């Protein structure tokens, strides 16, 4: 049972619940409200459409949450492998003479901190892998084990598809949210129209309004009633 008729303030779950009850109510009381069979069929189809879009929007939100968690995990793995590669590069170049230590520091950006922003640490990872690939040409005498760089590449290979997926799903989610918002506005108009027609036929105190997901006038739950129901509060 809804405590008031402020359906524009309903949360999305509340609004769907109100629409579902409303759909059942108009089928039962269509004649006394003055709704034609065509109107009832159109409203019922609308409620079904809203229910579908609401479910799809919630599913998109859930998928987005799951993908954000995956990206977080994959991102942490990329950062971990960046640190591992940098440690190897520092360790192997520190004992070398000449310009090699300077080359390694500049080529692999060892003077920089590993960024926290995803786009920035991905760029750093790509630079490390590019530098590693160039070593046989640029520093053929500098031998570096392949394993850390292969692990970094594998971590990036997991992160990139997840990024592409979440970019696509973000666009889909925004489209669904916009569609649900549009349908909700239409639904609010339908509720308002039928409510006014029902009140015109039955009066504002008729308890049949409950069947429409509405509240009769004396039953409306106000802030004042809430305070009265709670009783006197202890003084601080």
DSSP state letter for 146: S
pLDDT tens column, 6-62: 999 999 999 999 999 999 999 999 999 999 999 999 999 999 999 999 999 999 888
C-alpha to C-alpha distances, 56 to 16, 81, 99, nearest whole angstrom: 13, 37, 59
**Has this prediction a pTM greater than 0.85?**
no
CA distance 165 to 162: 5
Segments of the chain with pLDDT less than 70: 222-236
- Which domains are assigned to the chain? 7-230 (1.20.1260)
Residue 236: the pLDDT is 40
């Amino acid at each position: 049972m809804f405590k008031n008729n402020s359906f524009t303030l309903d949360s999305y779950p509340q609004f769907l619940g109100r629409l579902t009850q409303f759909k059942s109510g108009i089928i039962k009381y269509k004649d006394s409200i003055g709704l034609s069979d065509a109107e009832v069929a159109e409203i019922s189809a609308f409620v079904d459409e809203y229910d579908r879009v609401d479910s799809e929007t919630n599913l998109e939100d859930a998928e987005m949450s799951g993908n954000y968690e995956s990206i977080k995990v994959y991102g942490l793995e990329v950062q971990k492998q960046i640190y591992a590669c940098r440690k190897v590069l520092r360790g192997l170049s520190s004992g070398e003479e000449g310009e090699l230590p300077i080359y390694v520091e500049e080529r692999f950006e060892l003077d920089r901190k590993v960024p926290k922003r995803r786009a920035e640490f991905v760029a750093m990872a790509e630079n490390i892998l590019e530098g590693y690939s160039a070593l046989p040409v640029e520093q053929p005498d500098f031998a570096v084990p392949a394993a850390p760089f292969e692990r970094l590449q594998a971590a990036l290979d997991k992160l990139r598809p997840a990024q592409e997926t979440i970019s696509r799903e973000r666009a889909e989610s925004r489209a669904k949210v916009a569609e649900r918002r549009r349908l909700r506005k239409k639904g609010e108009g339908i509720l308002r129209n039928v409510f006014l027609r029902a009140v015109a036929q039955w009066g504002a105190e008729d308890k049949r309004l409950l069947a429409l997901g509405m509240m009769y006038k004396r039953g409306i739950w106000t802030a004042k009633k809430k305070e009265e129901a709670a009783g006197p509060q202890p003084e601080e």
